[in-house]
Structure 1
């Protein structure tokens, strides 16, 4: 089969690799029908993560079950499924608490595991990981595209909103206009925030933010952005969603949080940036978040998506086939695309 393989910074290639096979009785083999390129993929693409040549790429995917192991009980051949960006056994202490990304037996797609930017994958712990998509969705490409972001960015945006304690009638601010930040706007709207401020700089993305429910836009950065948010809110936002992962974005998020409020951070951290603990201490600001347990959120988000109440597909603004994955990486790296959808 064909799969996307990392070789070096700026160099991913679609190559022939061995077909996946059942290795454990809890495995499933899934043929990929939809996948994505993620903003976090750009970290290794730019040489900022320690990736090794030969590793597979892609952690966001949906597909059709082709084969199941002898101990798989909840899925069968022919089922259409979506996968959270991490696999998990579904039975451990942390899975039972809804923290599947902390599963001792789990892991993440790509790297030394099979990746979703491919024709097929071996899915470990199929029962604990994969979520069946309702049969009525079959053939509805528009709805399937709306479901795809639940594999990561919509679930992660929702995690940011939940972690920040977004409440009905209150104010939320979102730091970052990437796919996660835009989904954070949509998540804050879904949870009832009355005022939603987006901090970003790219007009195409900000237009989607407005479509998703943003009521205010701040295009300045750092201290100027902080001052603008403080002034427009008369003291800061009750809930702030940090969706970038840099020292600057975290510093901005903490500074624009209203005393007694909370920051929900989901941007993948890079570097050893300091955290403004003094500001947090003196203003009683809470910090929650981390890697999103997407598997815990997908059922409720999928229900709303199928019902037509939730649609984050606007973040998928470019589509390529499997051979086009390298050009998709380049488009995202050059900010010519927000998020690329792959249809093998």
Structure 2
């Protein structure tokens, strides 16, 4: 098959690799019809994180089930299914708690599983991972575009909102205007927030934030942004969604949280330097809650809203490429010419 492969910073190639093979009675082979490039993929693309060279890339697959193991009960050959960014078994202690990202039988999509930016992937734990798309929606391209973000960014934004304690009538703020931050705005609106302040630096992205439900936007940085949010709210907000992971973003989140408030963080930590200063959290009794999002735990709940037409995160896709266009997709996201790239192998 053909797959996007990492060969070093700035070097993504589409090349022939061995097809993934079914090796477990619990597994499945999926022909990828839709996938995406994630903001986290840019870390290795920019040389900011280590990765094996060469290695297959991508972690947001959706497609048609081609083959299933004899013990699989949740999907059949020919079904349309999506999958979260990590494989989970669905039966261990942590999966039963809704912490699928801590699954003791967990796995990723790279290596012999194929890499999701490819023609096929192998899912070693089909029942605990794959989310079947109902037949009546399985060939509706508009619906599929709306479902694909549930594999990562929409579920991650929702995790931030849940951990921040967003509820009906709440005032909250979202730090970050990438795809996760934008989905955080959408999630906060879905949970009933009355006022949503989006903090970011890009007009096109903040326009989508407003489309998703942001009532205010703040484009300032650092202390200026903190002061602006405090002025807008009379002292800060009780619910902050942090969707960047940099120390500057976490400092902003702490600065705009009201005493006794909560920061729901899902930005993967990077560029923290000497570490996070917990002083502001300690002094104002601000709760820090979150982590890597167990998006599989939210899949059916969010899918139900997409299928009934009340949730549509698809505007985060601002560029579409085929498999040969994946290297261009990385370039576009790296240079901020695209928010998130949809890939249709």
TM range, normalised to the smaller chain? over 0.9
Gaps spanning 5+ residues in structure 1: where? none
Q: How far 1:112 sits from its partner (Å)? A: 6.4
1:138-177 aligned at under 5 Å gives the runs 138-177=138-177
The answer for the alignment partner of 1:309 in structure 2 is 310
1:21-32 aligned at under 5 Å gives the runs 21-32=21-32
Runs of 4+ in 1 over 6 A off after TM superposition: none
Q: Quick one: structure 1 residues 286 and 52, their matched pair in 2 at CA, closer, same or farther if it must change by over 3 Å?
A: same
1:1-344 aligned at under 5 Å gives the runs 1-110=1-110, 113-273=113-273, 274-344=275-345
**Cα separation, 1, equivalents of 2:248 and 2:272:** 12
How many pairs are equivalent?
344
Q: How far 1:110 sits from its partner (Å)? A: 2.6
**Cα separation, 2, equivalents of 1:155 and 1:255:** 26
Q: Is the Cα–Cα contact under 8 Å of residues 246 and 272 in structure 2 kept in the other structure?
A: no
Q: How far 1:75 sits from its partner (Å)? A: 1.2
Query: Which segment is superposed worse, 230-239 or 150-159?
Result: 230-239
**Cα separation, 1, equivalents of 2:119 and 2:282:** 50
Gaps spanning 5+ residues in structure 2: where? none
**Cα separation, 2, equivalents of 1:132 and 1:299:** 9
Q: Per-residue CA shift, 1:102-122, capped at 9, x if unaligned?
A: 011102223664211000011
Q: How far 1:142 sits from its partner (Å)? A: 0.7
Q: Is the Cα–Cα contact under 8 Å of residues 26 and 72 in structure 2 kept in the other structure?
A: yes
Q: How far 1:272 sits from its partner (Å)? A: 3.7
Q: How far 1:167 sits from its partner (Å)? A: 1.4
Query: Which segment is superposed worse, 72-81 or 275-284?
Result: 275-284
**Cα separation, 2, equivalents of 1:213 and 1:112:** 41
Q: TM-score, normalised by structure 2?
A: 0.98
**Cα separation, 2, equivalents of 1:255 and 1:137:** 44
Q: Is the Cα–Cα contact under 8 Å of residues 20 and 113 in structure 2 kept in the other structure?
A: no
Q: TM-score, normalised by structure 1?
A: 0.98
